Structure 1
């Protein structure tokens, strides 16, 4: 069952607080130690099923594989100061690689499979992994990108002749009296390294600490739960589900193919999935899929989404197919390493990302850094009182993200209402100005999303020397509907008499939106595509 966060408010300090964290495990244990002990408690339970590779592993079998990979790393002389690289899909043995790193106290640095050779080279030049686990599909790209590094490459599937096969690693004998390592830096030690969205250059390497907050369960998982998410280990949600399925003994469904909405809904129906987390783009693809009205989604007890904003119409469509009131917006950001807020009150607070989860504090600040009260818009700042090692090798960006008082500056503009519910207005850097009047892309996206023919939309500013940022839109229409660009422009015009909130830059109908490697809508890329289409016509 989900829990409803309860927040308090300090009127003098203008700070909201979640309830204290409830410790379910010894606070001195690492994430790896907790998973190791919990997996031994239920050895015969099914740990994971691969819907694409046709494999099933019990918790005993997955634990043994993780210990074999960990023993292989130890035999290679890896220390806790070393880094392991991961560039792969959700294949059968990828969770064992993650757990092996946790058991050894070695951070892994996971990259998206879509990164090009140049990006991989720049990122791994920073963290310098000793071993990289990747799919054979990416082997040549990874080998070329790391040619200047002393690195061994293990392939997880589709093995080239000159790679180390994961099956060879799994043949390593388990170290006698195997035990997970004690962390040299305690729970301040880095657990994993993920990448920032990378919409404005080379992605930053974001360290994730062995924080207790990552164990804050927004849904009380049990051994009866079946989890499914297509997100891989380069996403915070992929890391989150990997940890939670290990800690809370749930069954996890994995798949190594590209996300497909029809496939995803078939998985939910066939395996009677109770818990899923999806991106707003995946939700939009689902409702635009012919199978949406016929697939049985009644097993779902918790449908989380996050990472970006989902149009209210998309949320309503998903809710209409659920037999339980379980659609929940989970808000957070990678640097925080955990979920920050959760909305379990859709009917009362449909546009909110919810209340703070346990253990967090929040304030809203203006451009001068002054804290604001309820219903005042400013930058969302969050404190979790946990250690953070920052962006790997980038002190300047680290200090701009987390100040000397340990507040994370999210870059999101929002406000807290008088009931303690957080609302996100837009990204601070996405603010646009038309004739010196400030507005946000989401203001117009929300209007366009009302159109019954619209599946997804991205709004951005096209610069005009006369007016400033003229709003323009790339729009994906719903399957089987007719929609012209001028229809979108006319609809926006009919919904507002504000000149600056018109689509003064125009609109285009596209087959899909441009996205970053992590699946988020990339506003800059959509703008570039828009200009390319307009220049051709």
Structure 2
């Protein structure tokens, strides 16, 4: 059965608490040590099936491949303090790269393959990986972006002539008496590094620790489960799927193509998928596809989604096709390294993100940092009692995210009702998400401001059930300019090959921007004016 969270409330402290954590494994073991042991217990079980590359790996085969990659990294002289780069899709051997890093106690830093060259250069200049595993599709971009670093590049598919191929790495002899490394810093050591964006738009490298919290709410998984997530290793959901499939000995279905709703539903039906995690955008695309009404989703026992809000209509449509009432909203954030709340009570609380999972505490605070009671709106703060190394090389942003009392400040505005259900109302921060890729309005404004005809600009996100926050802009043109809104849209698309930074929501030309009483640009007011203009009202 899917995990059902519960929590209690301390009225004096105004703090909600999840249940007690149950330890199924020795708390001293690292994630790598657990996966290493569990893979040896079930050698003949199918570990992974690629629905696009038509490959099948048993746990014994995946275990051996992971040790070969780990032995290769050791032979290259990498230490636990070194970082391994990953920019790739869910190809057959990507999971062996992840497990190899876990076995060696080396953190990998994973980036989305859609990042442009400048973004890759900025981010990898922070962590300075020694070796990067990427798809041949991105080889030249990655090579160019990391030319100033002493880095080797291994390609996972579509191999160019001058790259090291993953097949060559897999010929590495397994080190004699291979054992997973003991972590030099224990389970406080960093397991992986994912990406977020700073309040100034500067990329941040988010460390994820070797804590047990990442397994929370998934201990119902067994060898009978079949997991499927289209998300890659740069998303926390992709990381969670990679880890839980190894720890709980499930079969994992992967695919290296772009998300396609008809394909995804065929995968669920063909492989009898029991566990899936998706962003709401994928759900919206699925229900709008012609195949949705005839698809067979009856095998699903746990349907998790999260990352942004989902329209009630979208949730209802998905539920109508499930044979089990198993659609669950999971709320969390990358820095936490796991899910924070899960809503298992859609009919009672359809707008809620749910109750706290085990091991967490939550409080709602006002602008003065004072704790608020039930039904009072404020910033959501969460404590997981786990070590966090913060943003790699960025202590200032780390302190802003987690205070000295170890509370994470989510930047989300919300409230807890009297039944302990959390409701997220808005973002306190200005971060936007397009298909779960994070960006900031300032990124768009910087590009538009380069146009000689532009006097001022205000960018914002326009919500789409399918894509998330589509960038849009209100632009003041210089006196005498003949600038048109479409010129701005075309300019931005010419300045970056990252679709999530395009003006997918459009642009308008205005005489002046909407401003607050103090004269500052009011982003929300400009967004509202944009929506009025677009609606014709």
TM-score (norm 1): 0.83
- For residues 122-201 of structure 1, the aligned pairs below 5 Å read 122-196=122-196, 201=201
> Does 2:232 correspond to 1:255?
no
In structure 1, what is the equivalent of residue 325 of structure 2? 325
Match of 1:529 among 496, 502, 506: 506
In structure 2, what is the equivalent of residue 363 of structure 1? 363
In structure 1, what is the equivalent of residue 212 of structure 2? 212
Deviation at 1:215, TM superposition (A): 1.2
Distance 1:378 1:361 in 2: 16
Could you tell which deviates more after superposition, 137-146 or 524-533? 524-533
Q: 1:425 to 1:88 in 2, by over 3 A?
A: same
In structure 2, what is the equivalent of residue 297 of structure 1? 297
Query: Contact 2:49–2:254 (CA<8 Å) still a contact in 1?
Result: yes
- CA offset digits 1:392-416 (Å, max 9, x no partner): 0111100000000000000000000
Deviation at 1:4, TM superposition (A): 1.7
Deviation at 1:15, TM superposition (A): 0.2
Deviation at 1:530, TM superposition (A): 3.6
In structure 1, what is the equivalent of residue 399 of structure 2? 399
Distance 1:119 1:430 in 2: 19
In structure 2, what is the equivalent of residue 274 of structure 1? 274
Deviation at 1:218, TM superposition (A): 3.7
Deviation at 1:531, TM superposition (A): 3.4
Distance 1:71 1:199 in 2: 39
Counterpart secondary structure, 1:429: coil
Q: 1:476 to 1:223 in 2, by over 3 A?
A: closer
In structure 2, what is the equivalent of residue 228 of structure 1? 228
Q: 1:402 to 1:355 in 2, by over 3 A?
A: same
Distance 2:459 2:264 in 1: 38
- CA offset digits 1:167-189 (Å, max 9, x no partner): 00000000000000000000000
- For residues 460-471 of structure 1, the aligned pairs below 5 Å read none
Q: 1:472 to 1:95 in 2, by over 3 A?
A: closer
Counterpart secondary structure, 1:57: strand
- CA offset digits 1:201-221 (Å, max 9, x no partner): 232100000011001134610
Counterpart secondary structure, 1:290: coil
In structure 2, what is the equivalent of residue 31 of structure 1? 31
Query: Contact 1:119–1:202 (CA<8 Å) still a contact in 2?
Result: no
> Does 2:246 correspond to 1:246?
yes
Distance 1:77 1:196 in 2: 29
In structure 1, what is the equivalent of residue 121 of structure 2? 121
- For residues 439-478 of structure 1, the aligned pairs below 5 Å read none
> Does 2:18 correspond to 1:41?
no
Query: Contact 2:84–2:106 (CA<8 Å) still a contact in 1?
Result: yes
Query: Contact 1:474–1:530 (CA<8 Å) still a contact in 2?
Result: no
Distance 1:477 1:420 in 2: 30
Which aligned runs of 4 or more in structure 1 are off by greater than 4 angstroms? 197-200, 469-478, 524-528, 532-537
Deviation at 1:473, TM superposition (A): 5.1
Q: 1:264 to 1:197 in 2, by over 3 A?
A: farther
- CA offset digits 1:395-439 (Å, max 9, x no partner): 1100000000000000000000111111101101359xxxxxxxx
- For residues 6-25 of structure 1, the aligned pairs below 5 Å read 6-25=6-25
Distance 1:52 1:217 in 2: 29
Query: Contact 1:219–1:302 (CA<8 Å) still a contact in 2?
Result: no
Structure 1: 5+ residue stretches without partners = 432-440, 442-459, 464-468, 479-509
TM-score (norm 2): 0.83
Deviation at 1:476, TM superposition (A): 7.2
Query: Contact 1:412–1:425 (CA<8 Å) still a contact in 2?
Result: yes
In structure 2, what is the equivalent of residue 384 of structure 1? 384
Query: Contact 1:474–1:526 (CA<8 Å) still a contact in 2?
Result: no
Distance 1:254 1:532 in 2: 45
Query: Contact 2:280–2:466 (CA<8 Å) still a contact in 1?
Result: no
Query: Contact 2:285–2:466 (CA<8 Å) still a contact in 1?
Result: no
